[in-house]
Chains A and B, each alone.
Chain A
């Protein structure tokens, strides 16, 4: 009995000793947090303001390690390593690591409190520090001096932070410009900007006549189909397939940009592409005053027309649908070239905005809806009235001019002031 009591006492003591050592180590070790940001990113500035002006005052021993990722590839690679280690899906910055906890994005009212609680918890209970192991392995592999060059360890400096506070206050104020609209109440202009840009760019892209001719071909053939149900099904299948091609292209492009990372040259490249596209549209507006439809790709058009005819005449509805889907994919993929500027540039704007991943896809859907609006109008009118209607090309010139100006503006902002395209 005494033996059992002795053994139990020994086990309890060992456990107490083990846990107290663990806890002491962890809490003693905790002092570093890791803050990944992008130069010019307004949410990063907001979070930085909080970290230095609020958190650091409460926890003066805290060390904030800052990493700028837009212009520093090594820092960006480091972010990738950290996010892999933590199993985090990082779609943008700011990204903050406290122990083995992380915060993607920043919303003052929610994230600040969560950050504070996590720091408090790490101080009192201790936290693991998986980032330090990455730093250690990097230092072992690379030249430690190089690594230090990319890492700014900031200690609390109240004088410096007072200066920066005003600057950050300006950014914060800019992010919360609110207007009062009767009935709707107070609306944040910044939160309206991205949907508005989406709608405008989608609608202007929709004015592009490239994608319209196949739909008009199809409608002309569908009007000869006696079965009403078949007419509607085949038309809707074509429209949905065309929208899907756009959705797939834009999603793939978005993921490609995110995969490449927030590298400056991609943003600059897209900026220059926007300037080129904008310049071309304005040149067309000035030198090509003729309205009407440009005649291009005669043979290709005839082939598509013949294949579409075959698909529609197919007895089996399933096979007809399949034929229409294949044609919609093939034609829209080719036609994407003539309108790729708009969706690609818009996707770049989406990528630099710090919003949830699923929000990005919703924005793409919103863009496509407005892009397809004129197609939907023509299709529904034709199916209901059994007559083909065209949307006037009279305004193609002015839409070209507006589109050109928007592309130029977006291009200049992507190159010189990307933060102005990061809507709140």
Chain B
């Protein structure tokens, strides 16, 4: 499983999510995550159809297929639950 995180420096919600993800990543070292800046990586943002709200978290399976998309501020408990439930994907 891999998580693509889309955010930006001007977005307070993205900044709020940064330390939450940092904690999750430290607690789950096996988890692959990638951060992409919405303004710097326009093409990728377009590819994943990110248009309205930031931050956006896209969960990909082993075949790089999207199986879940979350946007806005998400609490850590919910994220951990999702990650644990989809560990084997």
Residue ranges of A at the interface with B (Cβ–Cβ < 8 Å)? 209, 212-214, 216-217, 220, 290-295, 298, 301-302, 305, 378, 388-394
A392 touches B11 (CB 8 A): no
In terms of DSSP, what is the predominant structure of the interface of chain B? Answer: loop
* Complex: chain B residue closest to A393, CB-CB: B13
A293 touches B53 (CB 8 A): yes
A393 touches B10 (CB 8 A): no
Contacts of A212 in B (CB 8 A): 10, 12
B14 touches A293 (CB 8 A): yes
Smallest Cβ distance from A300 to chain B, in angstroms? 12
A216 touches B11 (CB 8 A): yes
Instruction: Using known A-B contacts A390-B15, A393-B72, determine if residue A220 contacts B53 with beta carbons closer than 8 Å.
Output: no
B73 touches A392 (CB 8 A): yes
Residue ranges of B at the interface with A (Cβ–Cβ < 8 Å)? 8-16, 18, 38-39, 50-55, 71-73
* Complex: chain A residue closest to B70, CB-CB: A292
B39 touches A292 (CB 8 A): no
* Complex: chain A residue closest to B42, CB-CB: A298
A209 to B54, CA, bound (A): 13
B11 touches A390 (CB 8 A): yes
* Option from B13, B50, B52, B71 in Cβ contact (under 8 Å) with A392: B13
Contacts of B51 in A (CB 8 A): 295
A220 to B39, CA, bound (A): 14
A293 to B10, CA, bound (A): 9
Smallest Cβ distance from A58 to chain B, in angstroms? 64
A302 to B37, CA, bound (A): 13
B71 touches A295 (CB 8 A): no
Instruction: Using known A-B contacts A217-B10, A220-B9, A292-B73, determine if residue A390 contacts B16 with beta carbons closer than 8 Å.
Output: yes
Enumerate 29 A-B pairs (CB-CB under 8 Å) in ascending A order: A213-B11, A216-B10, A216-B12, A217-B9, A290-B53, A291-B13, A291-B73, A292-B11, A292-B13, A292-B53, A293-B10, A293-B11, A293-B12, A293-B14, A293-B54, A294-B52, A295-B38, A295-B52, A295-B53, A298-B39, A302-B39, A388-B15, A388-B18, A389-B15, A389-B16, A390-B16, A391-B12, A391-B16, A393-B16
